[in-house]
Structure formats: C-alpha cells, structure tokens
Amino acid sequence: MSAPYRRTVVDAAGWDAAADAMEAGDTTLLSLWAEIGCVHLAVLDAEGIEILSLPCPDGYFPSIGRRHPPAIRLERAVRDLFGLEPEGLPDPRPWLDHGRWGDEAVPAAAYPFLPVEGEALHQIPVGPVHAGIIEPGHFRFTCDGETVVRLEARLGYVHKGIDRLLAGAPLARATKIAARVSGDSTVAYALGFAQAVEQAWGLAPPLRAVWLRAVMAELERLAHHLGDWGAICNDAAFSLMLAHCGVLREQVLRTAATCFGHRLMMDRVVPGGVAADLDAAGMAALQGLIAMLRARVPPLVKLYDDTASLQDRTVGTGRVSPALVAQFGAGGFVGRAAGRAFDARRATSYAPYDGLRFEVPVLQAGDVNARVWVRIREIEQSLSLLEQLLPGLPAGPVRIPPEDLPHGPAEGLALVEAFRGDLFVWVRLEAGQVQRCHFRDASWFQWPLLEAAIEGNIVADFPLCNKSFNCSYAGHDL
Amino acid sequence: MRRTLLQGLLHRPLTEAAPRAEETAAVELAHALNTAAQRKLGRSLSIREIDAGSCNGCELEIHALNNAFYDLERFGLRFVASPRHADVLLVTGPVTQNMREALERTVRATPDPKWVVAVGACARDGGVFARSPACLGGVASVMPVDLVIHGCPPTPIDLLRGLLTLFAPGAAGRAQSS
Ligand code: SF4
C-alpha cells in the first residue's frame, strides 16, 4: 500500500502558516498543483504527508514562493496551466507557456532572461537543440572569462499538456500516458500512478505483483545508474568507463526484455497489479544478470576509485551545499550526495520494501564525485534487493482483472522512489476515469540546484555537472 | 586500471565473442546500411537526432546504438553534433508547440540532400499525446517525412532495420531538397 495522508481544506491564513513552516524548515514541500478554482499543496512533516487545499474562487492565492523559493517554478506552472494568480510571486515570468499555444500568426514574445550587469561579462546561449542525443532545453550562461557566474535554465520545450490529456481519460488510457511522462522512469511513473489509484480505491494488488514491481523498479534503477556512471565519466574524457558501463546497461535492458517483454518495461505496471509475469526462463536470466554484475561491477568501482585524472575532474566540481539541498527537499542522488538522507522506499516504506534490507547511502560533499558514489552504492543496494526479491517471490496471480476494478469517486496519492529521486503522484478518479492527475518529478527540485552547482565552475565542466544531475526534461515539462 | 585496460586490449570484441542472434543481426544490418549509404551518398552516413517533445524513451534506444554491442561508428555511421553535418535527421516526439520552431530551424540548417525520419509512435502520429492541444501530432504535420520507424520506443534493431529501408534500392526514401 502507498503512503497514507491527511487532506485539509484551509483558508488563506492556514495556507500562509504552511509557508511559514516550510520557510522555517519544519516541513518539506512535496508539490504544489491546481485545478479549476482550487490550489493544492503537499507537504512532508514528521507525521507523514499532508495535503492542504485552498479554494480560490476569485482566481488568486497567496504565493508560497514568496516565502519559500522552491515553490516558485511550480507556481509559475500553475499560473500558465490553470490561470490562477499566485499573489506576490517573486518571478512573474511565464514558465511552461512559451507564448505558442494560441494564434500561430502572432510571434511568441522573447523570454526576458534575468538581466546581468558587469563590464567583463559575456553570455553563451545554448539550446534548445543540443549537440548530443539529449532532450531539449535552453541554458543561458553568463561568464567572466572561463568562469560561470550565472546559469539560467529555460525549460518547457517538451510540454505535451499531460495534465489536460489525463483529465477525463479512461483508466486504461491514463495508465499508458502515465508510463510515458518520462520514459527513463517509465516503471516508476507507472508504479506511482498504480499505487495512487489503488490507494484511492482501497485495493490491495496481489502479493506477487507487488514483488514483481520491485524487481522491475530495481532493474530500471540499475540500468540508469550504470548508464549515468559511464556517461559522467565520459564527460570527464574517460570514455573507457562509458564503454564498460554501456555494455552492462545493455545487458540489464536485454534481461528486462527477456523477463517482461519490453526493454524499458513500459506498460508492465498497471493499476491492480502487473501485466507480465516472470517465468522460469526469466528467472534464470535475472540470476545470470545478477551474477554477471556482481563480478563485473567491483573492478569498475576500483577503476573509478584509482584513476586520479578522473577524480581530478569530479572531486570538488559542481558542488551543492547541504543547506540548499535541504531547503529544496531535493531527492535522489542530488540530495543524498549532500547530506539529505531521504529515499521514498524508506520514508513511506511501501511494500515490499518494508520487509527488505537495504541501505540508503548518504554523502556530504555534494559534488560530482559524491553523486557518482551514491549511484555506485545504490547499484550495490539494488543488486542486494534483487537477491532478496527473487528467492522470496510469492506465488499466485499477478493482477486484479480490470473488469473487477471499482468505479466510484475517490482520491489517492503515492510517493515512490524513481532512479533520480522521489516521484509524487496525486489522482482523483470518478466513474472509472481520471478526473485530475498530477505528477511531480524529482527534477522539479533538482533543476534549480544545477544552476547553483555550476556557479564558479568553468563552462567546460557544465556537461559533467549536468550529467551528474541527469534531470528529466520530459518529467518536468509535462 | 592497467589490468582493465589490458583486458580491454586482449579480449576479443564483445560482438564477436558472443555472436548471439541479436548481435549478428545488428552487425549485418549496420553493414548493409553503410553499404547502401555509400552507394547513395558516396560516403558514410551522418545522423543527427532531434527531440521534438519525446518522453525521452526513444532517445534511450537511439543512444543504445552507440554502446559496444551495436557500436554504430564501427560501420562509419556517425551521430553528428550539428545539423549542418547531417544527412539523416531522426526526429522523435509528438512535436510540441514549444519545439516546433526549433525543429523547423534545425531541419532548415541541414544541407540537401537530407532525409527526415520520424522515430517512434509519437513522431508517427502523436502517439498517446495525439489529442493534446499542446502538440501538433507527429512530424508529418510540420514537414514531409521520408520514413517512419515504428515502436514505442523502437529497439536498436528496429532503428537499424528502419534506416536500412531508407537506402534500399528502389525504396521510397528520396532525398529532400528545400
Ligand atoms: S514513441 Fe514511446 S518511447 Fe518514443 S517518445 Fe513516444 S512515448 Fe516515448
């Protein structure tokens, strides 16, 4: 079962009190989203998750971002998508709305980047189309010689209108869309969506399905941590690691295809269970994969650790302070590399993680090197989790038949750990359809920290820093 | 470090050490693709990828073409950093309103002859995002498309097969000139 939560309808005073608590660091912002005439806030405190809802019939609500900066981009998005005005919002520029949703004949207005002053400064605009095979976004560097004095990101290029597509979508279609919010986290998104729906309807999926979901989630984590590890080293001009990690990653994907019929395991986690069972051949493939990784990963760890020229690039580069990470409630390797010991698998201990042994690696340095090490440690943890999951895999059915699912009006949420950090999902259902569904990718609170991480570094280290964050554009732009 | 490097030198390449069906297929396809491209262009093929609103799933699989199992560069097929160096444009995603201009400008920056390939269900017709007013619904709604590679996402093998049909003798794949 997913995380239980409290939901309270508040007035403006209650809303402000929540901003106070976040500003003081007593609670952590999980998300902020809206629907017509109402804005919602999810916070995490010592007792768990609370959702505060503020009706705003006049179209205004007091800005949380005015007090607590991590909310600023979420509020800009709320204004762009739902027309609600956050009063006192410190940054009133549009965010996801690039001025291109209306009349084609009217050219979009230029985006007002933050002004810079200073004689020696120059700017480097990059994107939205980048040199590699990566997602689109715009980065505006302001530099003093080689040194970056400010990075400003402009995102929203891959905004697909997911909130709107989900409103009124029948459950089956909504499940497919959820699995395609951020393809690299397709298992995590499908899992979050399924858990939220199951919580709303009070469903308990079959035990075997719950365990198979964890197998898939750990395979996804392994694939991307391996890929990131290699890619980060490659951006530090150490391509040998990319070659090795790329091979291991490919073998994870091939095993996923053997086990579940799809390399990324897309559409395999569904409300009520999973859409693919693990047979004997799949089980053998998984065991082979684990044995292979157990043998092949340690020499690579040693290689990373022993290569001084590589460490020279990663140690001390792209540092984020623990204070900033705590303020933004940044999850995943970004948070855990800078002292924030948060992992949704532990924090809400959703099944089957409540019965499994695993560590949440936490480092303090907050640099590229620390983000690499968190990934390395998590690769080891994922292997250990798979080793616990496979022998204990319960027998039985893997799915509640779709026709047996309830239809009534209900609400639910989930907080699950994707490979890049905690993913928050909230859903309201009615008549077998999604009425409103909100996803908050971990990237929302990581992107702003990338801007802080690069400050004072040289331009040439940006790819390295960026890769060590590996934020999702798709998951953020929605 | 030295041991790992030595092993890298002494071991036979992965693709040959373990010639499973999938690898053999990849090798044959990539070979054939390069031969066809040489025939048509007189030189190796340069590919540029453009994400026009993808979920990033298609990018993962295009990326995989570079890993040691497929290793496209072996065959002279290269992913290039600039559209000005490209022959083939692999476009993914349902073409969001916010990416339309960037896509059009990138394609315009590519010299003729060029081929536009729509990769994945989204690029084909918008996929699950087809109904969204924030998307245009497929690459063909913005520009002529020479080839569609199906899949969500297409696997690396699907991508190789697809690219090959672009250059097969008598194929519909004709170069675009703007
Ligand atoms: S085709 Fe599938 S994998 Fe590719 S961008 Fe679309 S949803 Fe993602």
The per-residue pLDDT for B11 is 65
With CB atoms and an 8 Å threshold, state whether B102 touches A307.
no
Mean pLDDT of B157-166: 85
With CB atoms and an 8 Å threshold, state whether B132 touches A307.
no
* Distance from the alpha carbon of residue A278 to the mean position of ligand 1, in angstroms: 25
Interface of B with A in 56-75 (CB under 8 A): 56-64, 66-69
Ligand 1: which residue has its CA nearest to atom 2? B152
- Residue A217, Cβ neighbours under 10 Å: how many? 25
Ligand 1 atom having least distance to the Cα of A183? 8
With CB atoms and an 8 Å threshold, state whether A136 touches B51.
yes
Q: Answer yes or no: is pLDDT of B61 > 60.
A: yes
Domains and CATH numbers, chain A: 5-87 (3.30.460.80), 166-444 (1.10.645.10)
Mean pLDDT of B74-94: 89
With CB atoms and an 8 Å threshold, state whether B57 touches A180.
yes
> What mean pLDDT is reported for chain B?
83
| Percent of chain B at pLDDT exceeding 90 | 51
Q: Answer yes or no: is pLDDT of B19 > 70.
A: no
Q: Answer yes or no: is pLDDT of B76 > 90.
A: no
The per-residue pLDDT for B99 is 95
* A136 vs B contacts (CB less than 8 Å): 51-52, 99, 102
With CB atoms and an 8 Å threshold, state whether B98 touches A473.
no
Question: What is the C-alpha separation between A103 and A136, in angstroms, rounded?
Answer: 23
The per-residue pLDDT for B5 is 64
Q: What is the DSSP string of A48-112?
A: EEEEEEEE-TTSEEE-STTT-GGGHHHHHHHHHHH--EEET-S--S-SS--S-SS-TTSPPPPP-
- Nearest CB to A250; choose among B5, B67, B93: B67
- Nearest CB to B134; choose among A129, A161, A176: A161
The per-residue pLDDT for A102 is 78
> Regarding beta strands A38-45 and A28-35, do their DSSP bridges make them parallel or antiparallel, or are they unpaired?
antiparallel
Suggest the residue from A155, A158, A166, A247 to mutate for an interface test with chain B (most B CBs closer than 10 A). A158
Question: What pTM value is reported for the model?
Answer: 0.94
Pocket flag, ligand 1, residue B173 (CB < 6 Å): no
Strand, coil or helix: what is A255? helix
Interface contact B49, partner A, CB < 8 A: yes
| C-beta separation of B103 from B147 below 8 A | no
Which amino acid, B88? V
Which pLDDT band holds residue B16 (cuts at 50, 70, 90)? very low
ipTM, interface predicted TM-score of the complex: 0.93
The per-residue pLDDT for B23 is 65
What pLDDT, in 10s, does the model give residues A167-192?
999 999 999 999 999 999 999 999 99
* Distance from the alpha carbon of residue A187 to the mean position of ligand 1, in angstroms: 14
**What are the backbone dihedrals phi and psi of residue B166, each rounded to the nearest 5 degrees, phi first?**
-60, -35
Which pLDDT band holds residue B75 (cuts at 50, 70, 90)? confident
* Alpha-carbon gap: B53 to the closest alpha carbon of chain A (Å): 4
Query: Which residue from A447, A382, A343 is spatially nearest to A225, judged by alpha carbons?
Result: A382
* A108 vs B contacts (CB less than 8 Å): 101
The per-residue pLDDT for B36 is 75
Pocket flag, ligand 1, residue B55 (CB < 6 Å): yes
Ligand 1 atom having least distance to the Cα of B93? 5
Q: Which residues of chain A have pLDDT under 70?
A: 1-4, 103-106
Provide the token pair at A361: 């690696």
User: What residue spans of A151-238 are helical by DSSP H?
Assistant: 162-166, 171-178, 186-201, 207-235
Mean pLDDT of B166-170: 68
Bin A349: left if φ > 0, else alpha if -120 < ψ < 50, else beta. Answer: left
The per-residue pLDDT for A182 is 97
The per-residue pLDDT for B34 is 75
The per-residue pLDDT for B6 is 65
The per-residue pLDDT for A407 is 87
Pocket flag, ligand 1, residue B127 (CB < 6 Å): yes
Interface contact B9, partner A, CB < 8 A: no
- Nearest CB to B128; choose among A100, A180, A249: A180
Pocket flag, ligand 1, residue A180 (CB < 6 Å): yes
- Nearest CB to A133; choose among B49, B100, B101: B49
CA nearest B47 in A: which residue?
Answer: A133
The per-residue pLDDT for A223 is 98
